[in-house]
Amino acid sequence: MSQPEQKTKVQYTKEEKKTLSKTIEEVFIRFTSSLKTAQIFEPNNIAFQQQIKPLFFLIQSLLKNLGKAILQFRGNALFFNTIRIRIDFHSYQRFKFLVGEFKEKEIEAIGFDPDLTAEELTRFIVIFAQSKQKKLKDFEDFIGAMESQGISNIFIEKLNPYDLSTRMTPEEIKRSCKKVFLKSIVHLQEVMEREKKHEKIHFKTTRRLIQSIINMISFDESFMLGMTNIKNFEEYTLNHSINVTILALCFGRRLGIEKSELLELGMSAFFHDIGKLDVPIEVLNKKGKLDDEEWKLMQNHPIDGLTKLVLLQDLSYFPVRALSVAYEHHIWADHSGYPKTWKKKELNFFSKIAKICDVFDAITTKRVYRDFSFTREQALSMMFEKVGEEYDPLLLKVFANMIGQFPVGTLVALNTGEVGIVVETNPEEVYLLRPKVKLITDNEKNKIDGEIVDLAEKDAESGQFKRTIVNTLNPEKYDVNIPDYFLAQATG
Ligand SMILES: [Fe+2]
Ligand SMILES: [Fe+2]
């Protein structure tokens, strides 16, 4: 949670502890009572006011004394900051009610900022209590409602992936993947428009979206990687930035980066090309070679990105490492590339990750000025030609393993005559060449909406593999739209 940390660890006397526990229990009681009354009464009703006012003052006093105020549902218990709320026979119904509300909205924690106003708290309680009437189905809808009500001093975090995934069907997970992907694009567009007008950027929203991407990757990594096949070459920077974020997060997970650090990696990737805002669209999309002046503008985007991020007023929800990534993501492992650096200091680890994901997405995307793109395997082999010079050797190897010999989204011909799309790579090293494939033609090349087959599957009698990849195919030549396949999987 990104609240200001408690400055010093206070040692409470027994008496103080008792008072604190009592105040926290009081918050719990007022919070549930406010929700219940808001389900029945209008916000200006006296019964509601009688609950919300004391709740507001209690939260304020706790913020003043403890520096943070977070109500959290963890391991089937409720906590306020780190203090467990005691539940007894009398409070059990309240506890059940509140836990039910948290689970339904997929919320793990609610945090209050010191600038919280009574009006904001009222609006929040009303949205929370009336979510069913307002048809807010999940966490993302709830966040959207909070934003539209201008609630910026309360933030919520999503229930941890394990609790959540056990309640979602594979189809629901795919739908959520698509939703998060599209929401991230819309949010980045908004960020860029705000940045152009020098307006405040809502980093809390960015953090929540990155958190959702991380959750979705932990549910269905292959599908989330599949989403990076979606390329909108006219809005290149938007799609590209989200694709780089997804690739970097999948990559970071493989590298064993911790969850809290993954959030920082995602934020860094999300903003890596923010400096491109200053490059005119005619230069970004120019067909043909850039002249010296245009090339200079292009090469300046890492410096512009760094400047933009440094000048942001509110860096409290922003990782400092994102500044390095914005500045260093075009610097090569041997320190060539751009911008030119005087000192050959070690590049930030996140910059090395972003560099690989950045190039991979760029060369697998068709551009306005280039009417072809490289397939994923072509891209990897091109990148390996510059291993050591441009890319960190060890990292590139891990990345290539993640993408797989036949990456998700590759169109493949099978020895049976069938054609299919790779939808999931096989995690076992010995089966790297045997991913899961969605069949799109039968063995006579008639188009079908076929099943998903596992190429590691053997025929029971002969002991031979049932299907094997013989070749990769160019989707354009076969008139197959890979992104459409992934989008279709996530609708309905
Ligand atoms: Fe860039
Ligand atoms: Fe980029």
pLDDT in tens, 239-262: 999 999 999 999 999 899 987 799
CA of 463 to the centre of ligand 1 (A): 50
Range of the domain at 194: 170-403
The predicted structure's pLDDT at residue 258: 85
Q: Are residues 360 and 340 in the same domain?
A: yes
Q: Are 253 and 216 in contact (CB under 8 A)?
A: no
CA of 315 to the centre of ligand 1 (A): 22
Q: Are residues 200 and 291 in the same domain?
A: yes
CA of 240 to the centre of ligand 2 (A): 7
Q: What are the pLDDT digits (tens) for 289-313?
A: 889 999 999 999 999 999 999 887 6
User: Which ligand sits nearest to residue 303's alpha carbon?
Assistant: 1
| Domain presence at residue 284 | yes
Model confidence at 74, pLDDT cuts 50, 70, 90, reads confident
- Of 403, 429, 447, the position where a domain reaches its end is 403
CA 121 to chain centre: 27
Query: String of b and e for 428-448 (b: at least 16 CB within 10 Å)?
Result: eeeeeebbbbbbbbeeeeeee
Model confidence at 159, pLDDT cuts 50, 70, 90, reads confident
CA of 446 to the centre of ligand 1 (A): 42
Report the C-alpha gap between 317 and 209 in whole angstroms. Answer: 13
Q: Are residues 126 and 181 in the same domain?
A: no
Query: String of b and e for 345-364 (b: at least 16 CB within 10 Å)?
Result: eebbbbbbbbbbbbbbbbbb
Report the C-alpha gap between 70 and 5 in whole angstroms. Answer: 11
Q: For residue 97, what are its two tokens?
A: 């009610």
The predicted structure's pLDDT at residue 93: 87
Q: Could you give the angle at the alpha carbon of 360 between the alpha carbons of 356 and 362, nearest 5°?
A: 120
| Domain presence at residue 427 | yes
User: Which ligand sits nearest to residue 244's alpha carbon?
Assistant: 2
pLDDT at 387 over 80: yes
CA of 241 to the centre of ligand 2 (A): 6
Q: Are residues 390 and 468 in the same domain?
A: no
CA of 403 to the centre of ligand 1 (A): 21
Average pLDDT value for the chain: 86
| Domain presence at residue 301 | yes
- Of 137, 159, 181, the position where a domain reaches its end is 159
Q: For residue 279, what are its two tokens?
A: 């490059």
User: Which ligand sits nearest to residue 306's alpha carbon?
Assistant: 1
pLDDT at 491 over 70: no
Listed in sequence order, the residues at least 6 apart from 317 whose beta carbon sits closer than 8 Å to its beta carbon are 2, 203, 204, 207
pLDDT at 315 over 70: no
User: Which ligand sits nearest to residue 304's alpha carbon?
Assistant: 1
CA of 360 to the centre of ligand 2 (A): 10
Q: Are residues 80 and 151 in the same domain?
A: yes
Model confidence at 314, pLDDT cuts 50, 70, 90, reads low
Number of domains in the chain: 3
User: Which ligand sits nearest to residue 338's alpha carbon?
Assistant: 1
| Domain presence at residue 1 | no
Model confidence at 324, pLDDT cuts 50, 70, 90, reads very high
DSSP 346: P
CA of 66 to the centre of ligand 1 (A): 42
CA of 361 to the centre of ligand 2 (A): 8
Q: Are residues 120 and 262 in the same domain?
A: no
Q: What are the pLDDT digits (tens) for 58-71?
A: 999 988 888 778 88
Report the C-alpha gap between 240 and 232 in whole angstroms. Answer: 8
What is the rounded average pLDDT of the residues 225-233?
82
The pTM (predicted TM-score) of the whole model is: 0.74
| Domain presence at residue 8 | no
CA of 366 to the centre of ligand 1 (A): 16
Model confidence at 21, pLDDT cuts 50, 70, 90, reads confident
pLDDT at 401 over 80: yes
User: Which ligand sits nearest to residue 362's alpha carbon?
Assistant: 2
Q: What are the pLDDT digits (tens) for 200-216?
A: 887 888 988 998 999 89
CA of 28 to the centre of ligand 1 (A): 48
Number of Cβ within 10 Å of residue 191's Cβ equals 22
| Domain presence at residue 346 | yes
Q: For residue 254, what are its two tokens?
A: 């493989």
CA dist 39 to 124, 150, 151, Å?
Answer: 13, 21, 19
Q: Are residues 130 and 147 in the same domain?
A: yes
CA of 358 to the centre of ligand 2 (A): 5
Q: Are residues 428 and 394 in the same domain?
A: no
Q: For residue 74, what are its two tokens?
A: 């963890």
CA of 302 to the centre of ligand 1 (A): 6
Report the C-alpha gap between 240 and 185 in whole angstroms. Answer: 10
The predicted structure's pLDDT at residue 349: 97
User: Which ligand sits nearest to residue 269's alpha carbon?
Assistant: 2
- Of 159, 194, 222, the position where a domain reaches its end is 159
Q: Are residues 399 and 426 in the same domain?
A: no
